[in-house]
Structure 1
Amino acid sequence: MTDSTAAPAPQPDRIVPDTKDWTWVLSEPCPECGFVAADVEVAAVGEAVRGSLPRWRAVLGRPDVAARPDPRTWSPLEYGAHVRDVFRVFDERLALILIEDDPLFANWDQDAAALEGDYAHQDPPAVADELERAGRAVAARFDAVAPSDEGRGGRRSNGSVFTVRTLGQYFLHDVVHHLHDVRASPGEPDRGADRGVTRR
């Protein structure tokens, strides 16, 4: 007699949580991806996000999209699901900062979200569609920011303080950096990730 119950999908190795405080990218170029956050204007964020979307769709269409380069590094699929959720989280944070005075953002643990959302086993075409919708939504919200609102502030749960301007800079670095993470090979130039932004 055979057991007709399907075996559970194998669980990937746990990723070591990233505990670094990446707010330093607001004051100096990122040595890994080359992004210069301090040069980014709020008005450029939306177009830069939209420019990244075809590249993310191409990444999520790779035949090996679910394969990790090593056991403790996210696969392109996991990175794509993460960026989709980054779009959603920062859309919420931008909306909050524009309607409340000095709001405290809800805590978001990206590593816990990856496990709870089972990023490793999500459907790549669905993630690509969701990422595009979320990216266009957050891009439109940045497009609509009035210059007089760029100095409005909000706080992260760890005490980091952001203005609309620095929130956009910090957010866009995350998007660009993860495109660098998922480039096809270590020697491949990171073309197109910097549309509408400054790199060196």
Structure 2
Amino acid sequence: MAILLLAEHDNTHLSDQTAKALTAAKQIGADVHVLVAGSNAKAAADAATKLAGVTKVLVADDASLANNLAEPLAALIVSLAPAYDTIIAAATSSAKNVLPRVAALLDMAQVSEIVEVISPDTFKRPIYAGNAIQTVQASDAKKVITVRTASFAAAGEGGSAPVESVAAAANPGLSTHVTDALSSSDRPELTSAKIIISGGRALGSSEK
């Protein structure tokens, strides 16, 4: 069966975390479908269709999915799960909120923050704050996986995947979105930065 990759996006732009998680997904299997769940997220879906290796883009456009609330998004993924044997996402704050719920609803164990794919059911992941690497073999019928994207290169463009609309699942109504309180910075996200300089106070100035 196919692999379902949950896209990371802001309804307008597709995060490069999705392209990196796609690289991991393609090492598990060749038939990768990307789920773009949001509200007025056509631009993000169009970007997903262009990623090399994507065979289909599923678009769930509903007001309940506008703010990445975990409960309606998890309900949607579970409704799609029968068609997939692997559900995967980048290990972002959003996916870390959603995929454990998906795993619990499916009564399966999650494999978290993989850094290497050994086979379709065997992965490596860091433990003890990264001081050791654990090899995990998933025995469940379906696999729920998050990917530490720093370990994978982003998939390139060049694809032309078809788009299919899917209906949002019934909203459990367990939470509501109140407001966003976001800090702004001209710096890129650490996981997306092309160059990282670490030195702290010892450098003393930007010139150094």
The bucket for the TM-score relative to the shorter chain is under 0.3
> Normalising to structure 1: TM-score of the pair?
0.24
> Normalising to structure 2: TM-score of the pair?
0.24
Higher RCO (Cα < 8 Å, 6 or more apart):
1
